[in-house]
Amino acid sequence: MAPPTITPLQALGVGADSIHLSKRPLPTAPDGRYHWQNKAQPGQSIEGIKNKGGIVPDPRTMAAFIQQAHHPDAVDDRLGAFSAGLDLLYKLPADSDARKKLGDTAVGTFYNDLPHPSGIYQPSVSFLGPERSFRSADGAGNNLHIPDLGRAGMPYARNVQGKWAYAQTALPDPGLVFDTLFKARGERKTHAGGNSSLTFAFAIIVIHSLFRTDHRDWNINTTSSYLDLSPLYGVDQAAQDQVRNKQEGRGLLYPDTFSEDRLSFLPPAASAILVLFSRNHNYIANMLLKINERKCWSDPPPTDDAKRAKQDEEIFQTARLVNCGHFMGMIMSDYVAGFLGQCDGGAWKMNAFDPITLDGVEVRRGEGNHCSVEFNVLYRWHPTLSKEDEQWTKDVFDRASKGKPAEELTLEDFGRAAGETFASVNRDPKQRTFGGFALIFPLRDSSSLQKPGLNFVIQEEVSYTSVLLCIFANYACSACIAHGLPPTMC
C-alpha cells in the first residue's frame, strides 16, 4: 500500500500549527488545562440534555427530595438531598431559569437557616465618608446599626438554645468520645472526589479567617467573623500596621509577609497560599496606582507626609477590598465545589453577591455575620489530612514534646510544650519563616515587586519557585469520614 501523500498546502498548515502550539503560553488554570479543554458537560444546553436523554433519577435521591418536601423544617442529611441538589445544579444549562431559581434557593436557604439581627432597620442605609468606604481592620461597623456584630474580640454567638442540663459528672470521658467516634482505624481511605491536600490547605485559611479563640477566655473570638483575609492582613489595626509598608505611599504589604502566627505550626502549603495572596495584594495596589482612574494619586507619591499617608491608605484599602473579593469568589466557586466533588465540568457557583428574592421576599444583605460556637466546633477538616501532612504534623509534635509519645502526654505537658513553641515564633511578621525555609530578600524596595515572576531567592540559592512547587505538592487527602482523625490529633 502506498504511503499517504500530503500536499504542500497541508504541510504548510501542519507546520504553522506546530509553530503556533509551541509558542502558546502555558495554561494558567490550577488543573494544568487550557480553558477550551474544560468544556461544559452536554447538559450545558437544552439540546444536549435532549440528546443525552433525561437525568436518570436515583431512588435514594428521590426519597431525599420527597422527605424534604414533607418535612421542610427537618433535614435528614443521611439521605443526601443537599449534595444531590447541587449535583443537579451543575448539570443544568448555565443560562436556564431553573438553574437561576435553584441557585437562588440554595443561597437563600443557607442564609435563612441561621439566626440574624432583627429586621427593624429597613430599608438598609449606607453612609458617606472614608471611614465608611472601607472595612475596618477588626470587622467593626459591617452592620451599621450593630457595629460590634462580628467584630474581633466579641464572644462567640450561640445558635442552639440550651434546653438540657447535665451534671459534669454525667458527661462521658472526652478521651472515650474521641476514641469511639473520631480516632482513625485500619487503612487510610482516599478521598472519593480525588481532592488534593491543597483544597484543605485553602480550608485552613478559611478557618483561621473566622476562628481565633482567646485561650485566656474561651468565650471570646479574637478575630472577626468575616472572610476578610485576616490571616494575611491581621485581626486589628495594630496587627495590620505590622504587615503594611506605609513609608512608600503605594498601599503595599511588606514582601511575602502575612500576619497569622498560628500557621507556623501547620503544614506549609497554607502559608504558601497566603504568600500568593500577599503578592496579589501588591500587584493590585501597583495596578491601581498605575491606572489612577480618578487621577487623585501621584507617582512618585507625595513628599508631604499627610498627603502620602492619605494616598497609601486609599490604595491599600481599595486593594484589600479587591483581594478579599478574589478570596470570597474562590470560596463560592472552586473551594465549595471542590470539597463537594462537583468541580468537574460544571460552571455553577454560589453567587452570593447578586440580589436574591425568594417567594417575593428579598434575601437581605449587609446585615453582618457573627460566628457561633457550634460552627467553631463542627467546622473541622482534620480527617482529610494527607499522609504527608500527617507526618509533618507528627514531627512538629515530636519536637514540641521532646520526643515524648502523644498518648503519654498529660494536659499539663501539652500546655507547657504549646506555650514554649508559640513563644519561639518571631513577633515581627517580616522575620518569620515557614516550612523550615528562610527567606532572603535581595531587594526590599518597591521596584523589586514590579518585576515579573517569583523574584525572591531562598537560602542556599534554591529558587523560590522550586520551593513553592515543593510546598504545593499534590498530596492525596483522606476521606472525610467518621473514625478518620489521625492519632497525632489526639
Over the stretch 286-337, which tens digit does the pLDDT of each residue have?
999 999 999 999 999 999 999 999 999 999 999 999 999 999 988 887 787 7
Identify the burial level of 134 via C-beta atoms within 10 angstroms of its C-beta, where 0-12 means exposed, 13-18 middle and 19 or more buried. Answer: middle
Instruction: Please indicate, yes or no, if residue 180 is contained in any of the structural domains.
Output: yes
> What is the extent of the structural domain holding 328?
130-158+173-489
Instruction: Please indicate, yes or no, if residue 319 is contained in any of the structural domains.
Output: yes
User: What does each C-alpha distance from 327 to 195, 284, 314, 376, 381 come to in angstroms?
Assistant: 19, 13, 20, 20, 19
Identify the burial level of 150 via C-beta atoms within 10 angstroms of its C-beta, where 0-12 means exposed, 13-18 middle and 19 or more buried. Answer: buried
> Which entry of 111, 233, 379, 464 is annotated as an active-site residue?
379
Q: What is the mean pLDDT of the chain?
A: 76
Instruction: Please indicate, yes or no, if residue 114 is contained in any of the structural domains.
Output: no
Taking the C-alpha atoms of residue 330 and residue 336, their distance in angstroms, rounded to an integer, is: 8
Instruction: Please indicate, yes or no, if residue 12 is contained in any of the structural domains.
Output: no
Instruction: Please indicate, yes or no, if residue 271 is contained in any of the structural domains.
Output: yes
Tens of pLDDT, residues 344-363? 555 666 666 777 777 777 77
**pLDDT band at residue 163 under the 50/70/90 scheme:** confident
Whole-prediction pTM: 0.76
**Annotation says 254 is catalytic:** no
pLDDT at 235 over 80: yes
In this predicted structure, what is the pLDDT of residue 445? 41
Instruction: Please indicate, yes or no, if residue 119 is contained in any of the structural domains.
Output: no
Instruction: Please indicate, yes or no, if residue 64 is contained in any of the structural domains.
Output: no
Instruction: Please indicate, yes or no, if residue 32 is contained in any of the structural domains.
Output: no
**Number of domains present in the structure of the chain:** 1
- Strongest mean pLDDT among 79-88, 193-202, 471-480: 193-202
Taking the C-alpha atoms of residue 342 and residue 193, their distance in angstroms, rounded to an integer, is: 8
Handedness of CA 264, 266, 272, 273 (dihedral sign): negative
